[in-house]
Structure 1
Amino acid sequence: MKSFKVLEFNEPLGEVDQDTPQPTGTQVLIRVKAAGVCHSDLHIWEGGYELGHGRKRLSLKERGINLPHTMGHETVGEVVSFGPDAPKDGVKVGDIALAYPWIGCGKCAVCLADEENLCLQPRCLGVHCDGGYADYMLVPHPKYLIDLKGMDPVLAAPYACSGVTTYSALKKVEKDLGNPIVIFGAGGLGLMALSLLKAMGGKGAIVVDIDANKRKAALEAGALAAVDGNAEDALAQLQKAAGGPILSVIDLVGNAQTTQLGFDALSKGGSLIMVGLFGGGATWALPLIAMKALTIQGSYVGNLKETKELLELVRTKKVAPIPTTPMPFAKANAALNELKEGKLVGRAILTPA
């Protein structure tokens, strides 16, 4: 099979020919139909995250991500074969399924509570294990495969990351969805959040992005307003557009500028949900956290139960898919570079030639 691997950090992916893996134990082999190109892939490709304030860069090599490595955690595939110990009461050969990637050790208290995405010994597909930038991919157990029941693989692939990530973040502020919320970032995650917010019965969102094309895309996707985060009066624009207290901010970017503006926009008792991993350090005035009784909470992807809930929501509420740009696997490097340069609206999806 062909795979497109990170051979060296910050270097172009290499096309590698290797034997097709055979499933053992409870594993399932899938033939990849679609693999989303996520902003998190850029961090893996680059080898780490900037932590700001002069802190040492967070090295992925030091966190157990070894090269060569096949990225791709938003993967849809056709079930090809099962290992000898795999249960046969779920998916079957020929099914088209979304692979849930945020897999833990399976043994600790967190995993046993069905919160594998928070496991301290992760085995995430495309992050710690080889992922979907390949003809075939191994999935550890059939329970991580969710039958798409006729959904388009290209449109469904992003639900494994941008979908469940935004759904999980929105659930953390569900009690406030009767008021306008603020969302930073109008890329794949931001557009996904707008679609899901509508399906969840939310009043709507004001979207902040420094890119005019992405602000336009947000408005077309139903945003109540779109604000340029670099504008001198960005805070005033947010307050005017909200028309009342801002109780929920979801930051899908995660840099010093977005977190500061989001923090400043919150009313008393508000919540800032941190999702984006752009990098840097926060600059909040610490006394204001207590004085305004603010909640600052991280949200990392989502669990398997939330992913299944999400796909059911998409089916029953006919959630509009985000814009996707299918590209052959051979253009994986071009997709990564376009994402890095901010040229993509929505998601690039790698597909077999």
Structure 2
Amino acid sequence: MSVRASGVCYADIGTAAARNPATGFPIVPGHEVAGVIAELGEQVEGWSVGDRVAVGWFGGGCGRCDRCRAGDVVHCPERQVPGLSYPGGWAESITVPADALARIPAGLDFFEAAPFGCAGVTAFNAVREAGTPAGGRVAVFGLGGLGHLAVQFAAELGYEVVAVARGDSREQPARDLGAHHYIDSAGQAPGAALAQLGGADLIVYTASSTGPVDELLTGLRVHGRITLVGVDAGSLTVPAARLVMNGHVITGQLTGSPRDTEAAMRFAVTTGVRPMIERMPLEQAGLAVSRLRSAAPRFRVVLDTTDGRPS
């Protein structure tokens, strides 16, 4: 696959600092990849050289286990991840299993398509698979690379959207993305503020720290659900009585399959949902990681791997 664009994800911070244990050489990160098929393996069917494709966090599965046979490929125990299982997309080319490919629809360019392989499909699935009733209220905690997409998806799916982020400087961007309400978590307890609005049916939690989750649960309606898509090494401490009395659900969302990625991209073409990106040359990958570490990008960095070649 000839790479045209490759996203920079928060998980890449750790990958960029890692080394291959067998060779000692640095690992090539990159699991949000968009480009063109340059060559096919002998037994690959259904694809052609020149097809526009994307590869995301799911980089291939075994195809044999119960999870794969059920269509839940992202939970395959032998799943592969670009940048971890094999060299990733921060390069001019990448070799991937055919079952990892997603078709890029007309209407999305490579730089818009790349983030859909991880951030886009994760945010899309977190919102659409929650079972929130029509016209319900969806809160998005965190307005970064994942959160700004979740706000758009929730708004376009017809929900009343509450964006929760730190500082008043993010209120206008949140409203521009489709949020109907904004809560500054630096100035007030977000769970209490959500409760004052009447509570949320769904909270999509995109922050990297799990610390605020306990208080945030006070803003869930009865039978409400919080879906974690941003995590750290921490643990949750939640009063069991609160879960039982209110019928709350705490769950997680782990990316999506290539078919899910295609669905997210088609939905984006139809509705106008787009990642807001900073485009940087591949040679500045180190700077991109530094900017991401300091939470500087608004909202996603995508590396241009073409080096002036026609895209």
1:350 pairs with 2:298: no
1:314 pairs, out of 268, 286, 290, with: 268
Cα deviation, residue 270, structure 1: 1.1
After superposition, give the CA deviation of every residue in 1:138-186 in whole Å (9 maximum; x if it has no partner).
1211662314335210111111111100111112323335122111110
Aligned to 1:14: none
Cα deviation, residue 42, structure 1: 2.0
Q: Secondary structure at the match of 2:126?
A: helix
Aligned to 2:179: 223
Conserved? CA contact 2:20–2:27, under 8 Å: no
Aligned to 1:76: 34
RMSD: 2.3
Tell me the percent identity: 24
Map of 1:159-308 to 2, 5 A cutoff?
159-200=116-157, 202-240=158-196, 242=197, 244-308=198-262
After superposition, give the CA deviation of every residue in 1:272-326 in whole Å (9 maximum; x if it has no partner).
1111023422132222111221111111111222222212212223x23121111
Map of 1:49-198 to 2, 5 A cutoff?
68-87=26-45, 89-90=46-47, 92-102=48-58, 103-141=60-98, 144-198=101-155
CA distance in 1, matches of 2:134, 2:82: 32
CA distance in 2, matches of 1:263, 1:254: 17
Q: Secondary structure at the match of 1:176?
A: coil
Inter-CA distance 291–156: structure 2 relative to 1 (3 Å threshold): same
Counterpart amino acid of 1:327?
Answer: M
CA distance in 2, matches of 1:282, 1:181: 21
CA distance in 2, matches of 1:186, 1:78: 31
CA distance in 1, matches of 2:273, 2:10: 21
Conserved? CA contact 1:254–1:279, under 8 Å: no
Counterpart amino acid of 2:269?
Answer: R
Inter-CA distance 233–253: structure 2 relative to 1 (3 Å threshold): closer
CA distance in 1, matches of 2:214, 2:16: 28
Q: Secondary structure at the match of 1:137?
A: coil
Structure 1 unaligned spans of 5+: 1-29, 48-59
Inter-CA distance 61–126: structure 2 relative to 1 (3 Å threshold): closer
Conserved? CA contact 2:202–2:226, under 8 Å: yes
Aligned length: 304
CA distance in 2, matches of 1:155, 1:261: 35
Counterpart amino acid of 2:223?
Answer: G
CA distance in 1, matches of 2:15, 2:133: 34
Conserved? CA contact 1:165–1:299, under 8 Å: yes
Counterpart amino acid of 2:230?
Answer: G
Cα deviation, residue 260, structure 1: 1.8
CA distance in 1, matches of 2:64, 2:295: 40
Counterpart amino acid of 2:86?
Answer: C
Inter-CA distance 204–46: structure 2 relative to 1 (3 Å threshold): farther
After superposition, give the CA deviation of every residue in 1:200-254 in whole Å (9 maximum; x if it has no partner).
2x223111112444443212212112222232443333233x3x23221111114
Q: Secondary structure at the match of 1:257?
A: coil
CA distance in 1, matches of 2:228, 2:83: 22
2:280 pairs, out of 321, 327, 336, with: 327
1:37 pairs with 2:37: no
Q: Secondary structure at the match of 2:132?
A: helix
CA distance in 1, matches of 2:107, 2:49: 15
After superposition, give the CA deviation of every residue in 1:75-124 in whole Å (9 maximum; x if it has no partner).
0011111112211x33x222222124412222211012221111112212
Inter-CA distance 145–268: structure 2 relative to 1 (3 Å threshold): closer
Q: Secondary structure at the match of 2:153?
A: helix
Inter-CA distance 141–298: structure 2 relative to 1 (3 Å threshold): same
Query: How does the TM-score come out when normalised to structure 2?
Result: 0.89
